[in-house]
């Protein structure tokens, strides 16, 4: 996995070595096995690396690495899974070792950076310095699995896997981007290309950025885009039968998983008990000659606990299964670590169990596969298969009655709805049986929407603009012109989730939670060939019959009995709502103190306090809203401490 960082500054700058070493040390958790730097003091160039040894554990895999001719110097965070295939196509050279990094450099010399990158199948962030042209190229993988930040601070161009590396450089500009706060509070993550800092951006997935030292200019180019994949796939749909589609899907899945099982260290798989992780585990076991190591965590609250389901799947598949139950104390202990783990405000509360399962896996393996991406590619979220149906039915109401209906549905708090519907839960659709009160409140919010696109934004939004003195940036997810209007409304939702929620929330969460314990997480469902194939599938093969992931389930049921899988989707979370009223109340109260909020002059203090009081009184379930503010406040508090400590 590893971490990379570096900078290009004014030529002839002094003390580049200590500067790059400080930046590398800040991300030592991403690569505890080795560190390295390459410096050109005359040109003011410094590339740094922290290594988590996965492929070629010998010194021949050390980075930064020079190409055979010496033209390119590169660092690679992640993996190029098809490096053996590429090695066979490239001209024969005397390789020093058997790492994918060395093959990557040979590809750059043979085909050039952009042509080579188009051939790579993997998850990666790459920094490569072209010594002939004096250009730095940054590359991010197609789906945005690996992070890459960059920025210009004064005369220095900085980059790194995490913000904490950039923060170590003396030229770093710590000015907060106030205009990103409305986006953060709306989505509970900061959408790319923005970051919490005004001077720093995230490189977009599928993009190559070039910094020309001579002109101090940045240019970018797309070598792949989800937009093009969606257009091409829907315009050239799969023509075969459903059985033929399932066969092709399984073949692609097995090849993707096989590629991601290449490692010189122990590996396993996260098994949550859901469809996505189950299909990865089942096919991984088929590819393995020994029992696969599977890892699951359970929670004391049964409404958040999928561990028994995961255990049953593991028993059926014959895996070497490890499970760990955690309670409130374990969850609470993680919270102080979150600001440093994520570097900027991030408020998906499943970050806590994701970190706990990563820590469990790291005791046994260095690499773990996961099922991330299945919902977005194959239609797993409730909003895909119920949202549209509910939207159409509710919008038969005259416009004048919709606000009244919305108010009626929210007169009862979510917990009250849960109690009211508990007796008749069996009569509800399966997708609505888990915490139905939350879903009813979401339905009420959609009544404000005039069309299905507005409905989507209502469903994925949280706070209105409570950031003061801020004008929200326009991100891709808030830009209707980028929404592929010719797609079916459900496909548009899937496209938006693939290009925003998936990289900026799900993959960010997994990367930081796993890398904090030096664990490499691999996502076989996000092989770009699977992404492109998924867009060729007719929508009924993904979403239909009152549930999602239809074709993925069909593949799974070849290996796991349907009886082990047919249950409501639970998600992967913890009871933040009750924790805020209990164990976390004092912590939250201190961060939400009205005088503190007013002194910071970032948020509408009265609005925050009103939501807090309603939540404490049980008049509303504002856990997501409040968690967003709390993660911002915790990050601000940690920032002050780090500056003064």
Interatomic CA distance for residues 473 and 173, integer angstroms: 19
Q: Are residues 247 and 180 in the same domain?
A: no
Q: Are residues 332 and 365 in the same domain?
A: yes
Instruction: Report yes or no on 479 lying in a domain.
Output: no
Instruction: Report if residue 451 sits inside a domain.
Output: no
Flag whether 329 is in a domain: yes
Question: In the annotation, is 153 catalytic?
Answer: no
Question: Taking the CB of residue 593, how many other CB atoms lie within 10 A of it?
Answer: 14
Final residue belonging to a domain, choices 522, 542, 564: 564
Residues 247, 202: one domain? no
Pair 69, 194 in one domain: yes
Residue 351 sits in a domain of what CATH number?
3.40.50.620
Residue 303 lies in a domain: yes
How far apart CA 57 and CA 152 sit, in angstroms, is 35
Which 8-state DSSP code applies to residue 504? I
For residue 391, tell me if it sits in a domain.
no
**In this structure, is the dihedral angle defined by the CA atoms of residues 229, 234, 239 and 244, taken in order, positive or negative?**
positive
pLDDT digits (tens, 9 = 90+) for 614-630: 999 988 789 999 999 99
Strands 3-8 and 156-160: antiparallel
Within this chain, do residues 101 and 217 fall inside the same structural domain, yes or no?
yes
Give the Cα separation of 343 and 511 in Å (integer). 12
pLDDT of residue 394: 67
Token pair of 248 as six digits: 């092709």
> Which of residues 564, 591, 616 is at a domain's end?
564
Residue scoring higher pLDDT (15 or 221): 221
Verify that 505 and 639 share a domain, yes or no. Answer: no
| pLDDT level of residue 562 (50, 70, 90 thresholds) | very high
pTM, two decimal places: 0.93
Residue 632 CB partners (closer than 8 Å, separation 6+): 181, 184, 185, 345, 347, 602, 603
Q: How far apart are CA 279 and CA 620, in angstroms?
A: 37
What secondary structure letter does DSSP report for 308?
Answer: H
Both 246 and 193 in one domain: the answer is: no
Using an 8 Å Cβ cutoff, are 343 and 504 in contact?
no
pLDDT-derived band at 82 (thresholds 50, 70, 90) equals very high
Q: What percent of the chain has pLDDT over 90?
A: 76
- On whether both 550 and 580 belong to a single domain, the answer is no
- Choosing from 190, 224, 258, the residue where a domain stops is 224
Per-residue model confidence (pLDDT) at position 565: 86
pLDDT confidence of residue 104 = 98
Q: In what order do the strands lie in the sheet with 156-160?
A: 34-40, 45-51, 3-8, 156-160, 149-153, 200-202
**Distance separating alpha carbons of residues 496 and 479, to the nearest angstrom:** 10
499 and 642 within one domain: no
**What's the token pair of residue 353?**
């169990």
Residues 87-132 pLDDT 10s: 999 998 889 999 999 999 999 999 999 999 999 999 999 999 999 9
CA torsion, ordered 373, 461, 633, 340, to nearest 10 deg: 10
Are both 532 and 590 inside the same structural domain? no
pLDDT tens digit string along 424-466?
555 555 555 566 766 777 777 777 777 778 888 888 999 988 9
Total domains, the chain: 3
Q: For 382-390, what is the mean pLDDT?
A: 77
User: Which secondary-structure segment (H or E) carries 49?
Assistant: strand 45-51
Cα separation, 87 vs 105, whole angstroms: 11
Task: Read off the pLDDT of each residue in 557-577 and give the average, rounded to a whole number.
Answer: 82
Residues 326, 417: Cα–Cα separation, whole Å: 28
pLDDT over 60 (residue 169): yes
Say yes or no: 14 and 116 in one domain: yes
458 in a domain, yes or no?
no
On whether both 610 and 517 belong to a single domain, the answer is no
User: Domain range spanning residue 620?
Assistant: 575-645
Lowest mean pLDDT among 239-253, 495-509, 612-626: 612-626
pLDDT score of 313 more than 60: yes
Residue 473 maps to a domain = no
Q: What is the pLDDT of residue 446?
A: 72
The predicted pLDDT at position 433 comes to 57
CA distances from 443 to 76, 309, 456, 547, 573 (A): 44, 29, 11, 17, 21
The enclosing domain of 40 has a CATH number of: 3.60.20.10
Catalytic residue among 1, 2, 24, 46: 2
Please give the average per-residue pLDDT across 289-295, as a whole number: 96
The phi and psi torsions of 157 (rounded to 5 degrees) equal -95, 125
User: Which residue is it, tokens 């939250």?
Assistant: 588
Examine the pLDDT at 422 and tell me if it is beyond 60.
yes
Give, rounded to a whole angstrom, the gap between the first and last alpha carbons of the chain. Answer: 31
Average pLDDT of the residues in 371-389? 88
Residue 73 falls inside a structural domain: yes
């Amino acid at each position: 996995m590893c971490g990379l960082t570096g900078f290009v500054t004014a030529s002839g700058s002094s003390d580049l070595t200590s500067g790059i070493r400080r930046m590398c040390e800040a991300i030592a958790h991403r690569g505890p096995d080795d560190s390295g730097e390459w410096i050109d003091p005359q040109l003011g160039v410094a590339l740094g690396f922290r290594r988590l040894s996965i492929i070629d554990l010998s010194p021949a895999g050390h980075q930064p690495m020079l190409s055979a001719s010496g033209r390119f110097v590169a660092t690679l965070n992640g993996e190029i899974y098809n490096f053996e295939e590429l090695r066979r196509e490239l001209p024969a050279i005397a390789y020093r070792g058997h790492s994918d990094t060395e093959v990557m450099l040979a590809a750059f010399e043979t085909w050039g950076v952009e042509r080579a990158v188009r051939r790579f199948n993997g998850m990666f962030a790459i920094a490569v310095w072209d010594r002939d042209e004096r250009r730095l190229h940054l590359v991010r993988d197609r789906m945005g699995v690996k992070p890459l930040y960059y920025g210009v601070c004064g005369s220095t161009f900085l980059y790194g896997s995490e913000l904490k590396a950039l923060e170590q450089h003396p030229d770093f500009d710590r000015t907060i981007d106030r205009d990103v706060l409305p986006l953060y509070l709306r989505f509970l993550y900061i959408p790319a290309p923005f970051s919490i800092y005004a001077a720093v951006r995230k490189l977009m997935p599928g993009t190559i950025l070039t910094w020309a030292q001579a002109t101090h200019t940045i240019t970018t180019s797309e070598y792949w885009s989800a937009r093009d994949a969606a257009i091409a796939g829907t315009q050239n749909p799969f023509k075969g039968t459903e059985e033929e589609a399932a066969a092709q899907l399984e073949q692609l899945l097995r090849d993707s998983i096989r590629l991601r099982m290449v490692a010189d260290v122990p590996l396993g798989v996260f098994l949550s008990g859901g469809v996505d992780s189950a299909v990865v585990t089942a096919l991984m076991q088929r590819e393995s000659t020994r029992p696969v190591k599977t890892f699951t965590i359970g929670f004391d609250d049964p409404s958040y606990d999928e561990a028994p389901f995961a255990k049953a799947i593991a028993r059926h598949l014959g895996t070497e299964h490890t499970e760990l139950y955690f309670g409130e104390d374990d969850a609470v202990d993680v919270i102080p670590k979150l600001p440093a783990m994520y570097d900027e405000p991030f408020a998906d509360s499943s970050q806590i169990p994701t970190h706990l399962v990563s820590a469990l896996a790291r005791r046994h393996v260095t690499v773990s596969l996961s099922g991330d991406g299945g919902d977005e590619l194959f239609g797993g979220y409730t909003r895909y298969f119920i949202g549209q149906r509910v939207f159409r039915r509710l919008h038969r109401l005259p416009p004048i009655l919709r606000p009244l209906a919305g108010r009626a549905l929210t007169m009862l708090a979510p917990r009250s709805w849960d109690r009211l519907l508990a007796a008749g839960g069996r009569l509800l659709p399966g997708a609505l049986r888990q915490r139905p009160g939350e879903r009813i409140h979401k339905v009420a919010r959609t009544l404000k929407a005039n069309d299905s696109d507005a409905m989507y934004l209502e469903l994925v939004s949280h706070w209105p603009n409570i950031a003061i003195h801020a004008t929200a940036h326009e991100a891709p997810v808030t830009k209707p012109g980028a929404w592929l209007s010719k797609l079916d409304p459900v496909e548009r939702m899937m496209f938006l989730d693939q290009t925003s929620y998936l990289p900026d929330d799900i993959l960010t969460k997994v990367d930081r939670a796993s890398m904090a314990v030096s664990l490499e997480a691999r996502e076989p469902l996000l092989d770009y060939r699977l992404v492109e194939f998924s867009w060729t599938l007719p929508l009924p093969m993904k979403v239909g019959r009152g549930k999602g992931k239809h074709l993925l389930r069909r593949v799974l049921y070849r290996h796991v009995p349907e009886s082990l899988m047919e249950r409501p989707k639970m998600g992967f979370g913890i009871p933040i709502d009750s924790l805020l009223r209990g164990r976390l109340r004092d912590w939250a109260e201190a961060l939400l103190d009205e005088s503190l909020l007013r002194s910071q002059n970032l948020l509408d203090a009265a609005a925050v306090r009103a939501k807090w009081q309603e939540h404490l009184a049980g008049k509303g379930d504002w856990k997501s809203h409040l968690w967003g503010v709390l993660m911002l406040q915790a990050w601000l508090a940690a920032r002050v401490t780090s500056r003064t400590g």
